[in-house]
Amino acid sequence: MTRVSLTVNGQRVSAEVEGRTLLVQLLREHLRLTGTHVGCDTSQCGCCTVHLNGKGVKSCTVLAASCEGATVTTIEGLAPEGKLHPMQEAFREHHALQCGFCTPGMIMSAVDMVRRKGNELDEHTVREQLEGNICRCTGYHNIVKAIQAGAVAMKRT
Amino acid sequence: MAQPARSSRIGEPVRRKEDLRLITGAGCFSDDVSLPGQAYAVMVRSPHAHARLRSIDAGKALTVPGVIAVLTGHDLLADGLKPIPHRPFSPHPADIPLANTDGTPMFTAPHHALVIDKVRHVGEALAMVIAETIAAAKDGAEAVEVDYELLPAVANTAAAARPDAPRLFENARSNVCLDAEAGDGKATAAAFACAAHVVRFETWIPRVTGVPMEPRAAVGAYDASIGHYTLHAGTSGAWRTKMDLAIMLGVAEDAVRVVTRDVGGHFGTRGMLYAEFALVVWAARRAGRPVKWTCERHEAFATDYQGRDLVVEAELALDKDGRFLAMRGSNISNAGGHTTNFSPLRKGVEIMSTIYRVPAAHFRARGIVSNTAPTRPYRSSGRPEVIYVMERLIDLAARQCGFDRVELRRRNLVTAAEMPYTNPFGMIYDSGDYPGVMEKALTLGDWAGFPARRAEARARGKCRGIGVANYVDTASGVPRERAEMTVHPDGTVDVIIGTVSTGQGHETSFAQLVTEWLGVPFDKVRILTGDTEFVRFGGGTHSGRGMRLASIVIWGASRKIIEKGKRIAALLLECEPGTVEFRDGLFARPGAGRTVSLFDVARGARDLLDLSQDLRGPLAAIADETVSVAQFPYGCQVAEVEIDPELGTLEIVRYTAVDDVGRAVNPAIIHGQVHGGIAQGVGQALLEQCYYDPDTGQLLSGSFMDYAMPRADNFPFFNTEYVEIPSPTHPLGMRPAGEGGTAPALGVMINAIADALSEFGVRHVEMPATPERIWRAIREARGSAGERRR
Amino acid sequence: MYDFSYHKPASLDEAASLISGRDDVKLLAGGMSLIPALKLRLATYSDLVDLGAIDALKGIRREGNTLVIGAMTPHAEVVASAEVERAIPALAELAGGIGDPLVRNRGTMGGSIANADPAADYPASVLGLAATVVTNRREIAADQFFLGLFETALKPGEIITAVRFPIPEAAAYCKFPQPASRFALAGVFVAKTAGGVRVAVTGAGPSVFRFKEAEAALAKKFDPAALDGIEVRPDGLNSDIHASAEYRASCVVVLARRAVMKAREAGAR
């Protein structure tokens, strides 16, 4: 067991983890941040996407022990308590979710996309950059629209 | 959304209530539930598709640190657990019956939650290891020693149907469990005898799987002091799961509670109890503490109920003018390793003629078993398969006989004047403007402008094709539903209902109904589902029955509340009950300008001392109705593809869908359903397949590395519209919208591909139409063209 | 996943000493292939040595006519690097097609080539550009580096520190992604250098390989038409549920032609 200390959603936390403990397990099981989901075992679906030191990663493919000193943001910490991030707002406005299971990962991935690609995202870019996130409900139509709108809204705020 | 909602009433694209928790990570999916002191279960699963189970030795596993118990099929039998109570057909009177032609009963066999004697598909659970942690349970599972006697396996549908195929059940005559006929053989033969043209099509609609993004998970608990079981799991209806669990456990219904909160997708995969659900509650009793099981994605690929898998041989007879005279053929549906469900077989064969006027038809319908995962209805159960067959037959007929494919459809579509129309299998289509909807889709999809787009594409070296496909969907399923509605004096309304939203937004759209009918604020309506502690009956979410039946029972309960409310309001307003009017949440005494609100009346019902017995108490009503007629949503899709002939790769460049939804409650949700449905249908047409090695039954598509899921870059934006022609067989005119996206998508995609490749002489491409299949089709067509030239 | 001891050394020497003489210790780079394999219990190690804290393994720099990329440089940095874009834009484009954006934020060049997945993208660029793999012990020419299916010339205890890419006159990569995994069903990297033309193929065979007939033809004339009539024999190519060897063979030729066209267009700009 190793002790790992990191900042999650602005809070300093530390936990005893095994070498094999994944970041997503640390978040879901140790910290009970269950908004980050596990949808696969091959790092394909993106349901577990969080921001690690400001960049989008699949938390099912990151060892918790490797996050010593890191800063992690999950869907629960994307916006201040009681507020919505513009990307969350856009997903709601555009009906970009149905069952909602892939949604936290989609939103975290979308915010990372804006970091990498800017606020003016054409349809092709969004679709291409969404390669790491799978949704089964929406056919992606409204997700793409929401990300485009959310990216613009992020510029305003 | 493009158009913000103007109100929260019916017809408005109201923002979803459930979204706030789901976009902030505050949802509660099955794996988010953890109970104090819980142990963890891991299944020991068979790596073989077909094997006799000689013995299981748990000795070593029990020495693994952290392992608490190893339970096997024999433990299960010793404890009296019953098999999973599969119902091969859903009990709706509108569907036609299918029975063995020779009069013998359909073959079914018990499906135990753990294998007793014989493994029938890869991944079937043989034993369950309970441990302090998941890791310890996995270590334990690896240490369980299983002795198998390997048997020859058969996975392929057509092969499994043969009399000499390896047999799954020794007490069956063959793997064919059901061999039925539908339609009129004599009339069909007579019609074929005088046909000017006969078009033949043989195909296999391969096995796919629903892949809800949330893998299954279940937590079982047992209260020994009162002998009570609780299951927390994602289901499509908690009540039915509870009843099935009670049967399996052999206990009274009130000894079981099922709790379902957020469910991460369903698509039919959660339509029936899973073995693991019964196992965790049983294990909780054995272990004396809660037991949790979380499915990993590779397990889901091997053990979720899968879908489709239909072999079809079909012939269409036409007269010299292209009028359809008859159709005939054979359908073989593959139920997988157990006799779980033959509903897709029936749902398909009964509308083989789909939306077209076909005077006579006759089909043989067989349901078989094979060494593959069990199947069940999957989105639009049975219909996408047969619609694909019919739409392909029409395009093939047009090509073979020299008709225009749109004209051929126009000539044969059932018209509004012919409604209600009885199809050649006996299904009665209620209503609709089939030709009008097709024309609308052709216009939206700019069918007329296609030649110019094709020419432009050709200049870029691309082969562009366009396809059209119509669909009809029989919405039947469990016919009964129940709503319990209570108006509280604090200004809220609770509706308890037995369907469970698995993404359809019931909390929103059902609340819109209440807002419309009771005139209460949308935010004050709570839709309560998914917990048998208060849900007394529920048919679950499937077969387009969520809104279709909820609207009926919520309407029924609303009317009862208004009627009861008028009588109480009359006392408050000091007038005759017959004169009280109700509008926008207010009861009014006409002419007097006096009103009382629904909530005032609820308070009155609670507080007034001079109320008659039947009015006293909570202002509440129950509507429990059985709807024995089906609804028939229908519509049309037009799709355009561009193919790179060198690689065989394909891009969908336009996609149009028009659906008749009867009456739209929430347009945003309806469009969303159609979008998602299209993606699932297109996924099957182009990408997805549960690929079983035909000889060994090994699953070669057991992860997202090999099962090709549709992703954002596989699609363009969809152009979806709907029409609202009220269904005369639904009291509010509604038609379900959940399956329409998928139903025609297989056919429209393959029609578009075949059109794109027509210049090479390609007749057809089987699904999934992978780049290699397209490339081969071009190559073979070119090759045979070369042969002909020589 | 089986448990293991986790180490995160701060220096290359420390990392080397942790793995020295032990075959049950595995180096962890980005973990994008290793961690999924561990999760599915396809591999087991007593110790994992995370190279993530060794700054010397990171970074992109130009040294004369060579682009040097540190082994622990994530794909996303290669994609976004102005240096790479100037020197070998084809490499940036290739990196931009590896996995998905989230994978690219973690996955590294060193991890990818040490893993030598037959369908990975980076090996095509390493072989196609005749790069040199630099380790803590020696330098290995690309032609000697990839030995077979998941097999490289790396010796036990050896750690890749960087890859040195000679800057070509023109280069391009064309990839046909496998529809499920999005790894290369076939991918072809074409490079025109002062020393000749190289064509490296990934995804199609058990390991990345050079398409020598195409190289010879393109050496005469660096033009897609030079490949007319040239075929790849399907014997020995991969066949699986996604594509047959025969189809892969056909794709390789088409992709090679398109890569040449793309390289010429890039050169003309």
Contact C242 B706 (CB under 8 A): yes
Most C CBs within 10 A among A2, A3, A16, A20, hence the mutation to make, goes to A20
Is B527 within 8 Å of B506 (Cβ atoms)?
yes
Residue C40: its chain A contacts at CB < 8 A? 41-42
pLDDT computed for residue B3 by the predictor: 73
Please give the ipTM for the structure prediction: 0.98
H or E segment to which residue C95 belongs: helix C89-95
- Residue C188 domain-assigned? yes
Residues of chain B with pLDDT under 70: 1-2, 786-790
Contact B22 A100 (CB under 8 A): yes
pLDDT computed for residue B1 by the predictor: 45
Annotate B434-445 with three-state secondary structure.
Answer: HHHHHHHHHHHC
Structure tokens at B462: 């691309």
- Nearest CB to C241; choose among B691, B709, B776: B691
* Nearest one of B319, B363, B285 to B69, comparing CA atoms: B285
pLDDT computed for residue B786 by the predictor: 62
pLDDT computed for residue B543 by the predictor: 85
Q: How many CB atoms lie within 10 A of CB B62?
A: 15
pLDDT computed for residue C266 by the predictor: 84
Containing structural domain, residue C198: 169-269
Contact A20 B135 (CB under 8 A): yes
Most C CBs within 10 A among A22, A131, A135, hence the mutation to make, goes to A131
| Chain A nearest C-alpha distance from B30 (Å) | 11
Q: Is the pLDDT assigned to residue C31 strictly greater than 70? A: yes
What letter would DSSP give residue B366? Answer: E
CATH architecture for residues B33-151+234-264+270-293: Alpha-Beta Complex (3.90)
* Nearest one of C252, C104, C256 to C185, comparing CA atoms: C252
Residue A3: its chain C contacts at CB < 8 A? none
Whole-angstrom distance, CA of residue C47 vs CA of residue B405: 65
pLDDT computed for residue C200 by the predictor: 98
Whole-angstrom distance, CA of residue B200 vs CA of residue B177: 27
List chains adjacent to chain B, taking adjacency as at least 3 C-beta pairs closer than 8 Å.
Answer: A, C
Residue type, position A136, single letter: R
B480-626 matches B306-476+630-789 in CATH topology: yes
Whole-angstrom distance, CA of residue C258 vs CA of residue C188: 9
Give me the CATH code for the B480-626 domain, please.
3.30.365.10
The matching CATH number, chosen from 3.90.220.20, 3.30.465.10, 3.30.365.10, 3.30.70.141, for B306-476+630-789 is 3.30.365.10
Contact B709 C250 (CB under 8 A): no
Closest-CA residue of B relative to A18 is B135
- CA angle, corner B248, sides to B214 and B74, nearest 5? 100
Is B265 within 8 Å of B321 (Cβ atoms)?
no
Give the predicted TM-score (pTM) of the model: 0.98
Interface of B with A in 189-228 (CB under 8 A): 210-215
- Residue C55 domain-assigned? no
H or E segment to which residue B54 belongs: strand B51-57
A34-50 core/surface letters (b: 16 or more CB in 10 A; e: else) = bbbbbbbbbbbbbbbbb
Q: What structural domains and CATH numbers belong to chain A?
A: 2-77 (3.10.20.30), 86-156 (1.10.150.120)
Residue C254: its chain B contacts at CB < 8 A? 646-647
Whole-angstrom distance, CA of residue A63 vs CA of residue A57: 12
Residue C247: its chain B contacts at CB < 8 A? 648, 771-772, 775-776
Q: Is the pLDDT assigned to residue A157 strictly greater than 80? A: no
Residue C5: its chain A contacts at CB < 8 A? 19
Give A32-65 as a DSSP string: --TTS----SSS-S-TTEEEETTEEEEGGGSBGG
* Nearest one of B779, B741, B744 to B762, comparing CA atoms: B779
Contact A101 B213 (CB under 8 A): yes
- Residue C244 domain-assigned? yes
- CA angle, corner C78, sides to C73 and C83, nearest 5? 115
Whole-angstrom distance, CA of residue B712 vs CA of residue B435: 32
- Nearest CB to B701; choose among C3, C241, C251: C241
Which burial class, exposed, middle or buried, applies to B721 when counting CB atoms under 10 A from its CB (0-12, 13-18, 19+)?
middle
Query: How many domains in chain C?
Result: 1
Q: What is the torsional sign of CA C2, C4, C6, C11? A: negative
Contact A98 B711 (CB under 8 A): no
Chain-centroid distance of CA B658 in Å reads 20
* Nearest one of A21, A18, A25 to A1, comparing CA atoms: A18
Whole-angstrom distance, CA of residue C184 vs CA of residue C94: 11
Interface contact C39, partner A, CB < 8 A: yes
Q: Which residues lie across from B58 on neighbouring strands?
A: none
- Residue C144 domain-assigned? no
- Nearest CB to B711; choose among A84, A101, A131: A131
Peptide bond into B420 cis (omega under 30): yes
- C-alpha dihedral, B421 to B426 to B428 to B433, nearest 10°: -40
Closest-CA residue of B relative to A125 is B713
Q: What is the torsional sign of CA B122, B123, B129, B132? A: positive
Closest-CA residue of B relative to C183 is B705
Contact A101 B676 (CB under 8 A): no
> Tokens 């889709």 map to which residue?
B441
| Average pLDDT of span A22-46 | 97
- Residue C120 domain-assigned? no
Whole-angstrom distance, CA of residue B374 vs CA of residue B364: 22
- Residue C215 domain-assigned? yes
Is C190 within 8 Å of C263 (Cβ atoms)?
yes
Peptide bond into B768 cis (omega under 30): yes
Q: Is the pLDDT assigned to residue C268 strictly greater than 70? A: no
- Residue C74 domain-assigned? no
Whole-angstrom distance, CA of residue B76 vs CA of residue B276: 12
Q: Where are the domains of chain B?
A: 33-151+234-264+270-293, 306-476+630-789, 480-626
CATH at residue C174 = 3.30.390.50
Interface contact B775, partner A, CB < 8 A: no
pLDDT computed for residue B187 by the predictor: 98
| Average pLDDT of span C239-268 | 95
| Average pLDDT of span C102-126 | 98
pLDDT computed for residue B2 by the predictor: 54
- C-alpha dihedral, A54 to A58 to A63 to A67, nearest 10°: 10
Residue C3: its chain A contacts at CB < 8 A? 18-20
Sequence-ordered list of residues with C-beta below 8 angstroms from that of B716, at least 6 positions apart, any chain: B652, B653, B654, B655
